[in-house]
Amino acid sequence: MKHSKVIDLLNSTKTLHEVTAKGWVRTFRNNQFIALNDGSTIHNIQCVVDFENTPDETLKRITTGAAICVTGTLAESRGAGQKVEIQVTKLEILGDSDAEKFPMQPKKHSLEFLRENAHLRVRTNAFGAIMRVRSTLAFAVHQYFQEKGFFYVNTPIITGSDAEGAGEMFQVTSLPLDGSAPRNEDGSINYKEDFFGKQTNLTVSGQLEGETFAMALGQIYTFGPTFRAENSNTSRHLAEFWMIEPEVAFNDLADNMDLAEDFIKYVIKYTVDKCGDDLKFLENRLLEEEKSKPQAERSEMTLLEKLSFVLDNNFKRVSYTEAIEILRDSTPNKKKKFRYIINEWGADLQSEHERFLVEKHFKCPVILFDYPAKIKAFYMRLNDNTEPGKETVRAMDILFPGIGEIVGGSQREERYDVLVEKMKALGIDEEELWWYLDTRRFGSAVHSGFGLGFERLVLFVTGMTNIRDVIPFPRTPQNAEF
């Protein structure tokens, strides 16, 4: 008999018929009550075993983590907490689980312990909920762009360009690493002998390649893995993460801000509508976690209130220059409570500044725009009529409560001569990016785009505080397990 998903059984309005369910045992009480979960929902279904007519040998094998198949009658539950239960007539053990050795026992585990068991942590309520939310968010990303007529583009993972100019890239090579790689006369490695005939890396962004497609297809988006070799062992950084990067021909910065705000609200609303039970569980988990914190460090809003806060508020648009004035005159800056004191225009804003603007000053999501050119990437469009030494670019960042920057984007520099000048000033090789410059030679036009780190979005929607807990297998310095 074909088995039914637990979620469908729990939502069933029809009872007193035979059903089959398969899943993993969460708990087994009194030799009678199995809590069975198959991953389709955070809720378990209770399976009631007739222990008097079940061999002892079988009962002993119903342990936490064991995979089982049950067949029986779906009936109204006599116990509290669930509408229906399965009164088991047939039970088969599909896979044993040694109760002494199975790490995911039905008790509270630390997040660090669960990271060490990332291959099994998804069997816990919290991680099952997080990964279902992640999956729903990913689907919503594609649905939003597809409904808007965007084309999905797969940009290369192996690349010869460094889009951000960050220099922190993972090198890809087929040359031997034992010192026997071919050398040039000056002793440097001869990459002409390498697989691709040049030095290559894992991508930090699909943006530059995405721009070339936007200048032909009109509006495109990428959604794929990106890699940063930053030695940052923080709760906000990963070495491998997923990026969503739309690029749109003929969009200016204002259009770009409109798109980003509309997109974020759409995917969050879609997920709130689809993942109510999981989000409620994660909200309660967060409330429990915060009880151990001093009152001043607790969130002012619950998880669902925070999500509603984003959905119900227009994002406040503020220029970088105005933000600097607000921060410079703020109480934490004057009382030197900020770790990084704001003294002058041109400072690169830190997470503490971003969160102050969102959570304390404006009390709504904020879009900062028109940043100093010196602290932004070469491809961002230079604003006209700016003071010498105070040049700004048409950049924008979206700041969220509890998380700081979640989106970074800009209107791209469409003028060939200005782009070349900026590249020269930063020592970026024109020959290396000849193909990118071609888009400014042949039919250039105003265009814009942004990047959103998918894990930052999942972090915000789930209320988790460490980015390692919202990706199946985190890749961080000194850690590439699983």
Of 289-303, 406-420, 440-454, which gets the smallest average pLDDT? 289-303
**Which of 105-119, 349-363, 438-452 holds the top average pLDDT?**
438-452
Q: What's residue 22's pLDDT?
A: 98
Cα 259 from Cα 2, distance rounded (Å): 45
Q: What's residue 106's pLDDT?
A: 86
Q: What's residue 165's pLDDT?
A: 56
Give the tens place of pLDDT for each residue, 81-102.
Answer: 889 999 999 999 999 999 899 9
Confidence of residue 234 (pLDDT cuts 50, 70, 90): confident
CA nearest neighbour of 376 among 397, 356, 358: 397
Residues of CATH 2.40.50.140 domain(s) within the chain? 6-102
Strand pairing category for 316-319 and 366-372: parallel
Phi, psi of 247 (to 5 degrees): -135, 135
Q: What's residue 236's pLDDT?
A: 80
Torsion of Cα atoms, 368 then 227 then 459 then 366, to 10° = 0
Percent of the chain at pLDDT > 70 equals 99
For residues 19 and 47, the answer to whether their CB atoms sit within 8 Å is no
Residue position matching structure tokens 């209130």: 305
Query: What value does the mean pLDDT take over residues 204-210?
Result: 95
Cα 217 from Cα 145, distance rounded (Å): 14
Of 211-215, 274-278, 357-361, which gets the smallest average pLDDT? 357-361
Query: 183 has which bridge partners?
Result: 189
For residues 203 and 197, the answer to whether their CB atoms sit within 8 Å is no
Question: Quick one: tokens of 85?
Answer: 């239960």
Q: What's residue 167's pLDDT?
A: 61
For residues 466 and 111, the answer to whether their CB atoms sit within 8 Å is yes
Confidence of residue 237 (pLDDT cuts 50, 70, 90): confident
Cα 117 from Cα 41, distance rounded (Å): 21
Phi, psi of 68 (to 5 degrees): -135, 165
Residues of CATH 3.30.930.10 domain(s) within the chain? 123-169+204-469
Torsion of Cα atoms, 111 then 115 then 119 then 121, to 10° = 0
Confidence of residue 166 (pLDDT cuts 50, 70, 90): low
User: How distant, in Å, are the alpha carbons of 119, 122, 472, 478 from that of 116?
Assistant: 8, 12, 12, 13
Query: What value does the mean pLDDT take over residues 175-196?
Result: 94
The distance from CA 424 to its chain's CA centroid, rounded to whole angstroms, is: 34
CATH code 3.90.190.10 for 6-102: no
pLDDT of residue 359 exceeding 60, the answer is: yes
Q: What's residue 163's pLDDT?
A: 58
CATH code 3.40.33.10 for 123-169+204-469: no
pLDDT of residue 162 exceeding 80, the answer is: no
Q: What's residue 79's pLDDT?
A: 78
- The mean of the pLDDT values for the chain is 94
pLDDT of residue 206 exceeding 80, the answer is: yes
Identify the residue with better confidence: 296 or 101.
Answer: 101
What stretches of 32-171 show up as alpha helix (H) in DSSP? 56-60, 111-116, 125-147
Cα 339 from Cα 123, distance rounded (Å): 39
Phi, psi of 220 (to 5 degrees): -135, 165
Phi, psi of 370 (to 5 degrees): 55, 70
For residues 29 and 36, the answer to whether their CB atoms sit within 8 Å is no
User: How distant, in Å, are the alpha carbons of 97, 290, 291, 293, 327 from that of 301?
Assistant: 40, 11, 14, 15, 23
Query: What value does the mean pLDDT take over residues 112-135?
Result: 96
Provide the sign of the torsion angle of the four alpha carbons 125, 128, 132, 135, taken in this order. Answer: positive
- Helix (H, G, I), strand (E, B), or coil: what is residue 374? helix
Percent of the chain at pLDDT > 90 equals 87
pLDDT of residue 288 exceeding 70, the answer is: yes
Query: What value does the mean pLDDT take over residues 181-206?
Result: 94
Query: What value does the mean pLDDT take over residues 214-235?
Result: 93
CA nearest neighbour of 175 among 160, 161, 195, 157: 195
Identify the residue with better confidence: 346 or 168.
Answer: 346
Query: What value does the mean pLDDT take over residues 356-383?
Result: 95
Q: What's residue 97's pLDDT?
A: 97
Cα 449 from Cα 394, distance rounded (Å): 11
- The C-alpha R_g of the chain, in whole angstroms, comes to 27
